[in-house]
Amino acid sequence: MSVYFHEEDLPAGVLAEGPVAIDTETMGLITPRDRLCVVQISDGRGDEHLVRFNPGSSYDAPNLRAVIADPARLKLFHFGRFDIAALQHYLGVLATPVYCTKIASRLVRTYTDRHGLKELVRELLGQEISKQQQSSDWGGPVLSDAQRDYAASDVRYLHRLKDELDRRLVREGRMELAQACFDFLPHRALLDLAGWPEIDIFSHA
């Protein structure tokens, strides 16, 4: 198990076939304002890859973009709505098909309102992860070991979480509903980018 660090793009051929877990680190939470700094990606085989983008980046990243756009690869996220919007805005590629562990958690863990990645990993996998670096400067010239470890942990567990959440979705009869939510998620991200981030367009009011 290793964490690999890359500048501006993912090397070709470093990922196995199949689903990939993806996360992003940005300068803040307003996508058009706060630039994309790091994309984390893992094929679930034990290694994580961090791709760092520098200020003024062209975000060309052809290898990374090809993985994100690959219709044969399922992309796993936790709170994918934000990451999908960031990837679309900066890399110009819409991630599909997708799976979101936060949406799945909300559909099956209705006994709690705690659906953060830390809580999911603790309850479903019996492991602890640190979120100390969640609010830190991801745009600096050097990423600390703590930042790299944090970034890698955000994709390290998503494949295993999906397996457990899928079992619960099937058990509760909500897999079809979950899939419909996942199918719509990229469009929800596009609505955010288009100017409807907080407006429920399905509401009567």
Tell me the pLDDT tens digit for each residue of 7-29.
Answer: 999 999 999 999 999 999 999 99
Query: Is 204 part of a structural domain of the chain?
Result: no
Q: Are 64 and 51 in contact (CB under 8 A)?
A: yes
Query: What is the extent of the structural domain holding 94?
Result: 3-10+17-194
Taking the C-alpha atoms of residue 23 and residue 19, their distance in angstroms, rounded to an integer, is 13
The pLDDT value recorded for residue 39 is 98
The pLDDT value recorded for residue 130 is 79
Query: Is 202 part of a structural domain of the chain?
Result: no
User: At residue 133, does pLDDT exceed 70?
Assistant: no
pTM: 0.96
For the segment 163-189, the average pLDDT, to the nearest whole number, is: 98
Mean pLDDT of the chain: 96
Based on the structure, what is the number of domains in the chain? 1
CATH code of 162's domain: 3.30.420.10
Question: How many CB atoms are located within 10 Å of the residue 7 CB?
Answer: 10
Tell me the pLDDT tens digit for each residue of 67-82.
Answer: 999 999 999 999 999 9
